[in-house]
A and B are shown apart, each in its own frame.
Chain A
Amino acid sequence: MMRRILALLFVLAMSAPLTASAQELLKPAARQGFYIGGGLRQALLTATDDDIGNLGLFLGGGFTLRFGQVVNDLLGVGLAINNTGGSNDEWAGGFGALSLEMQLTPLPGEDFAVRGAIGVGGGGVTRSDPELETDDEPSGAFGAFYTLGVSYELFPWYEAEKYETGGFAFTGFLEGFFFPGGDLVTGGVMLGLEVTYWFGFQKNRLELPPDAAFVED
């Protein structure tokens, strides 16, 4: 049977830019694909115990581990592990949390994000001076854990001209958190810096000029 041949479908996809040299494909954003990051934070928090009342302001710090993926222009999903501790003249305390994290990128292609998380946390406070302990010390805290904040990624080594995505980024963030852990309720703000590695997109998910399309990832 005779075959009539279609040509060219892939010419459209694979050929050079269709218009004059100024008309090029959009360069992909760096903030793509999977990410894994970690960093340190400063925290200012307060805690309130059901029986004792407010325990004052705590100053402290902690670390964060985060991993996940940006799934489209707007949204990223991942997990975050937080550990934060602090103290004041009378009390010392801390908590850890495992959270489901989501990031919204209000300006697609930009490196600014709003991020929030919901998860489970546990922790507690103790007297800074054990000799002052009484029978009615605050109990441990366990419960839901919430964060909401903003972040900005700086990609110092990103070269858009290579149609590559991802790479190392420095991530600065400011977050508020709320941890209603039963009898002990904690909340505060955290300011920190993380180092994040973005794995980027595989090239078969990008529209690329032919000289970049068949370059191995």
Chain B
Amino acid sequence: MRILVTGIAMFALCVSAHAHRLNLFATASNGVISGKAYFSDGKPARGVAVQAYDPGGAALGETTTDEEGRFEYALPVTGGAVTLKSISGDGHAAEFTVTPADPAGSAAAADTPAASGPSPGGASAGTIERAVDEAVARQIRPLREQLDAFEHEVRFRDAIGGVGYIVGAVGLVALLKARRGHGRP
């Protein structure tokens, strides 16, 4: 009985471990990188460590995904691109680079006006721009997530194409064998 319970618990813990590919996706705003890790069948990757590296390859820090495969990481002050890497225990690995253009861009915009322009009018051009940037980033985030998932989705035509390659390869081998056979009596 205990073995059965352990088995079921173990099974429930690692149901997502069988998927074939691990994917990472992240965006950054308000000085926080937030993202998610998921397997190729759309299931969240739970409790997987995500490491952050700067462009030079030096480790910045580490975080772990929650029950829904989501993680958050405080954007380092360096302002450059941050590469996120994740290796799950069973041989899956994924990498995603948060480029400075989208995340750190808004972070930089967040820093400069705050430092340089405490304009008395309240809403300076910088503040408005920052607010718009953030709102737009927030709005298009689901779209980007969907696009990222769509890009990694395996499509029917890929499978059919692969089978076609195998048939073609065997045809080629058969042809070569037949030719060699003709050479000899």
Q: Do A and B bind each other?
A: no
